A and B are shown apart, each in its own frame.
Chain A
Amino acid sequence: MKPVNSNIEYDVAVIGAGAVGLATSYHLASKGMRVILIEKNYAGSGSSTRNAAGFRVHFNSEHNVKFMVEGRRRLVGFGGEMGWNPIIFDSGYLWLLSTEADLQEFKRLNTMWSSLGVGGRFLDTHEVREVIPELNPQGLLGGFYGPQDGTFHHDLILFGYQEKLEGMGVPLLESSPVTGFNVSSRRVRSVLIGSKEIRAERFVVCAGAWSPQVTAMLGVSLPITPERRELGVTEPVKHFIKPFVISLKNRVYFAQGLRGEIRGGVTDMFRKGYHPLVSTLEWTVAYAARLIKTLPTVSNVRLNRQWSGYYEVTPDHSQIMGAHPSWPEGLFVAAGFSGHGMMMSPLAGELMAEYIATGRIPDLMRPYSPERFDENRLIDEAMVF
């Protein structure tokens, strides 16, 4: 890392070195801009290393589907471009459906998905059990299989960006929490890290669940709430679960990684607010019971590790990307990905960089402007697990 000379003025200071901040910095630097990346802990220490590492194109909102159809291409192409293979596993997502209402809902959605070129397949109970014979068939009506979806490994995305940024000479300031900003004539002039002042033309807040805390220093309130969710992985067992499985009835999701570990969580247990990232016994017991209920053969498999992390949730479960006329000039935000930040990060970074470099809002990014909350143009997204 190069020593940071505070007399240097940067084109852009990116705050938050999670996946979104790293991707944004990388694309900005690729465009020849002078970028500095500021991180309060270490790169990836927030939610980027704490997620379930699944990707899907199947969302409730057409905007999000379009976003992830393109985003998926970025993920798949990541290894070729960055030299780090993020272990893309085109395993598909399998939704286990148990009620007629769920089935109808997926049929409705699949019409939209098919029109966008990412239709999936409906499986009857027999076909579901062909995919995973060990699934408990009790109460199962069928399943929806999304072959375009899959899993990857988040750490490798982070490593890839870090290596590129290092190579491009972009300073990454770790253990550097932002303590304030200097604003004059309604324009952000510099960011403060204790006594250190870093001047830049523009400031992009990519601090995930902590973004509201950063923008609050500028008097800007963001509609982002942290939701603490928990995850667990088992010891490695022989590979037998191919898709990423979500059981709507048992409110549990799980997937098997390439190390053989089964990782997953429950869909309906979370705590709003900046609660410490620790584990609860309540979750542990519920997850174990629901996983066994869905997949009885795992009873003897041992839970090996569990942890928690934040979803950075907005009112419409979709991200905020861009700037708002009421904000001080020079402030941009890419945050609030509501649990989808990791899979969206490569594309989100690219779009933010394009926007900042050219001033034009890319079409894919347009629906996510922060103004949508004033104009009541909320995105209809309910598929959050």
Chain B
Amino acid sequence: MLERLIGFVILSSSVPTVSVNGRLITVERGTPLDVAIKKAGFRGLFRSVKFGRLRDIMDDSYLYPQYKCVYVNGYGLVNPLSFQVEGDITVIIDRRASFGSILSGKLPFFGVGFQNSGLIRTGFGWKIMRRMILSSANLPKYAGEKVVRPESGRLTTNILIVGGGPAGMGLAQALLEKNLDFLLVDPNPTLGGRIRYALNFPQLRRALNFDAEGLAKIIATRRIVGLFTGLYEEGVGLVVGENRILRVEFSRLVYANGSKCPPPLFAGNDSPGVISVDYALRLRHFGVLMSPVVFYVEDEWGEMVYRALKDDLLPVLVSPLNLEDKVASHIKQVRLSSKELVVTLDNGSRVKAKYVVYSTLRQPNLELPAQAGFAYSFSAQRGKIVCTEAKGEPSSNAPVLLAGSVTGLYELNDAFRHGRAIGYTLSGDMDSALKLTPPPTVVHPSTTGVVHQDAFVCFCEDVRVRDFVLAQHKKLRGPEKTKRFTGWGTGVCQGKLCIANGMRILGDRPYTQRLPTQPTPLAWLASLGDETSEL
């Protein structure tokens, strides 16, 4: 009777009512479910165990979506990040996660993220912990859907360009001009990388003398849609596409895969905080980015996001760049008070904000060059990872070059010029290359922020800022020991989401990266050989 009554009440309301584990809230139609769940007062969707603690997680990463689900009456298990509330629903989050429920093995929503439960001494506590770990019930099962057999093949080219952003396109343009044989790998259907988001791309293109016809030619004949997952010792690269896997042989490899990883270090998912522009966009999409917001912008990408969001946010723009309507300053300090962030600027003024959005210090994606055996040197300034030099021999026989942001170049047009310069270098036209040699990298002043202890460093392995602090406390310093202690960067994203976060905290070099850079089904890898038939 009571249920019927509640049902009636819910059905009769004009705006959708969401019942989350019995807590009733109303939301606007079209609200993403995770926003609704947060509005209902839940901090996390599921729990993870790490360092012997249970922790709430509202994980927004794209990893393991298959088990970051909640139960919705009438819909079954849904991913709250992709589910929009259109009508009245009842949501059940199994939050009974406790040591007892996990031991019973019946808990459906229990996270990954076991690492170093070795801090729990041996004995009874460890026995319980081990059972908890073994019962980690929401890990996906091994079988899954039926095996998709990929098309596997081989390709050979003279020059393989990894990345179709400004540097890769600049390089491709120069190689086309010089009539050299090359292939370009990029996972996105549209070429351009970060340049696609630049507001002034048309002008930029004109200014850079970018050849649109050449670009069309590249798309038609020279490109592979797929992700370059690594350079192996044999000197061959592996490219994984949607339903094919390719072994690519080449005589030259150029990494032009730039700064593709968004660093959401200052996680906004637990509390209002200091976040990156990329994360701000995501929060805006979910409707949870609220004024006042301070934007600190050091690049065109940040400026673009600022312009896109300013109409409905009324943000304050702080920038050392020459932009309209900005406060010309750097941020000196951000302090987390009980309710808001207090931002102190270099010019002495103070602003209160719910969010501080940074667009600064975009990280070069170092994983591939690091795997190939390059040593990097970095500026010593804390919080800065600027590759000033790549030295040493790549471990394979294949000559490897770097182009664009991956070398620490920052501006889009610099990257494009640098790509062209590398292209001319490869063709032997040193005069043209020298003319294009980019100006020295500008090292931006350091920015400081107060980081929430529960902010994520690494989503896949549930590593928080506090875990890094613990590692330091345990005197396990440096990236390699921190990685092994916390599990940072060892998850399925292979550091793409988190390497920059961790390095910012440590102010240090990246750890050794591992292949493949994208988890690849065993059956796909096996399809490249003839061992299957031999066995």
A contacts with B, residue count (CB < 8 A):
62
- Contact A79–B371 (Cβ < 8 Å): no
- Contact B112–A259 (Cβ < 8 Å): yes
User: For the complex, what is the distance from the CA of A44 to the CA of B478, rounded to whole Å?
Assistant: 13
* Cβ 8 A contact of B475, one of A44, A162, A301: A162
- CB of B535 closer than 8 Å to a CB of A: yes
- Contact B523–A238 (Cβ < 8 Å): no
Give the interface SS of chain B, mostly helix, strand, loop or mixed.
loop
- Chain B residues closer than 8 Å to A293, beta-carbon distance: 532, 535
- CB of A179 closer than 8 Å to a CB of B: no
- CB of B259 closer than 8 Å to a CB of A: no
User: For the complex, what is the distance from the CA of A238 to the CA of B105, rounded to whole Å?
Assistant: 12
- CB of A378 closer than 8 Å to a CB of B: no
User: For the complex, what is the distance from the CA of A355 to the CA of B472, rounded to whole Å?
Assistant: 35
- Contact B395–A278 (Cβ < 8 Å): yes
Shortest C-beta distance, B167 to chain A (Å), equals 25
- Chain B residues closer than 8 Å to A156, beta-carbon distance: 116, 118
- Contact B126–A85 (Cβ < 8 Å): yes
User: For the complex, what is the distance from the CA of A234 to the CA of B532, rounded to whole Å?
Assistant: 19
- Contact B531–A290 (Cβ < 8 Å): yes
- CB of B122 closer than 8 Å to a CB of A: yes
Q: Would you give the 0/1 interface string for B462-499, flagging 1 where the beta carbon is closer than 8 Å to chain A?
A: 00000000000011101011001101001110100000
- Chain A residue nearest to B231 (CB atoms) is A278
- Chain B residues closer than 8 Å to A44, beta-carbon distance: 481, 484
- Chain A residues closer than 8 Å to B476, beta-carbon distance: 159, 162
- Contact A278–B522 (Cβ < 8 Å): no
User: For the complex, what is the distance from the CA of A301 to the CA of B514, rounded to whole Å?
Assistant: 17
B contacts with A, residue count (CB < 8 A):
67
User: For the complex, what is the distance from the CA of A284 to the CA of B474, rounded to whole Å?
Assistant: 36
* Cβ 8 A contact of B139, one of A158, A159, A163, A237: A237
- CB of B55 closer than 8 Å to a CB of A: no
User: For the complex, what is the distance from the CA of A239 to the CA of B112, rounded to whole Å?
Assistant: 12
- Chain A residues closer than 8 Å to B528, beta-carbon distance: 281, 285
- Chain B residues closer than 8 Å to A111, beta-carbon distance: none
- Contact B130–A258 (Cβ < 8 Å): yes
- Contact B234–A282 (Cβ < 8 Å): yes
Shortest C-beta distance, B241 to chain A (Å), equals 15
* Interface residues in A62-92 (C-beta closer than 8 Å to B): 79-80, 83-89
* Cβ 8 A contact of A289, one of B137, B232, B516, B529: B529
- CB of B6 closer than 8 Å to a CB of A: no
- Chain B residues closer than 8 Å to A99, beta-carbon distance: none
- Given contacts A42-B481, A278-B395, A282-B234, A85 and B121 within 8 Å (CB-CB): yes
- CB of A276 closer than 8 Å to a CB of B: yes
- Given contacts A303-B522, A303-B525, A289 and B515 within 8 Å (CB-CB): no
* Cβ 8 A contact of A234, one of B133, B395, B522, B529: B522
- Chain B residues closer than 8 Å to A84, beta-carbon distance: 118-119
- Chain B residues closer than 8 Å to A33, beta-carbon distance: none
- CB of A45 closer than 8 Å to a CB of B: yes
- CB of A267 closer than 8 Å to a CB of B: no
- Chain A residues closer than 8 Å to B526, beta-carbon distance: 285, 288-289, 292
- CB of A213 closer than 8 Å to a CB of B: no
- Contact B395–A258 (Cβ < 8 Å): no
Among B487, B512, B514, find the residue whose CB has the most chain A CB atoms closer than 10 A.
B514
User: For the complex, what is the distance from the CA of A45 to the CA of B484, rounded to whole Å?
Assistant: 11
- CB of B166 closer than 8 Å to a CB of A: no
- Given contacts A290-B535, A305-B514, A79 and B112 within 8 Å (CB-CB): no
- Contact B521–A302 (Cβ < 8 Å): yes
- Given contacts A250-B535, A278-B233, A305-B490, A258 and B523 within 8 Å (CB-CB): no
- Contact A237–B514 (Cβ < 8 Å): no
- Chain A residue nearest to B238 (CB atoms) is A281
Select the stretch in B11-19, B142-150, B305-313, B446-454 that faces chain A: B142-150
User: For the complex, what is the distance from the CA of A43 to the CA of B357, rounded to whole Å?
Assistant: 39
- CB of B155 closer than 8 Å to a CB of A: no
User: For the complex, what is the distance from the CA of A276 to the CA of B373, rounded to whole Å?
Assistant: 9
- CB of A155 closer than 8 Å to a CB of B: yes
- Chain A residues closer than 8 Å to B139, beta-carbon distance: 236-239, 260
Q: Would you give the 0/1 interface string for A268-293, flagging 1 where the beta carbon is closer than 8 Å to chain B?
A: 00000001101111101111111111
- CB of B212 closer than 8 Å to a CB of A: no
- Contact A288–B522 (Cβ < 8 Å): yes
- CB of B243 closer than 8 Å to a CB of A: no
- CB of A153 closer than 8 Å to a CB of B: yes
- Contact A297–B143 (Cβ < 8 Å): yes
- Chain B residues closer than 8 Å to A279, beta-carbon distance: 230, 232-233, 514-515
- Given contacts A285-B526, A288-B525, A304 and B143 within 8 Å (CB-CB): no
- Chain B residues closer than 8 Å to A305, beta-carbon distance: 490, 494, 514-515
Q: 9 shortest A-B CB distances, which residue pairs?
A: A79-B122, A302-B519, A285-B529, A288-B525, A289-B531, A289-B526, A305-B514, A156-B118, A299-B523
30 inter-chain pairs at a CB distance below 8 angstroms, sorted by A residue, are A42-B480, A43-B481, A85-B118, A85-B121, A85-B122, A87-B117, A87-B118, A155-B484, A159-B118, A159-B484, A162-B475, A163-B474, A235-B519, A238-B141, A239-B139, A240-B142, A250-B535, A259-B114, A259-B133, A259-B487, A276-B233, A278-B395, A279-B233, A279-B515, A286-B529, A288-B523, A300-B142, A302-B522, A303-B516, A303-B522
Where the two chains meet, the residues of B that have a C-beta atom closer than 8 Å to any C-beta of A are: 112, 114-123, 126, 130, 133-137, 139-145, 147, 230, 232-234, 236, 238, 247, 371, 373, 395-396, 474-476, 478, 480-481, 484-485, 487, 490-492, 494, 512, 514-516, 519-526, 528-529, 531-532, 535
Where the two chains meet, the residues of A that have a C-beta atom closer than 8 Å to any C-beta of B are: 42-45, 49, 79-80, 83-89, 134, 153, 155-156, 158-159, 162-163, 166, 234-240, 250, 258-260, 275-276, 278-282, 284-293, 297-307
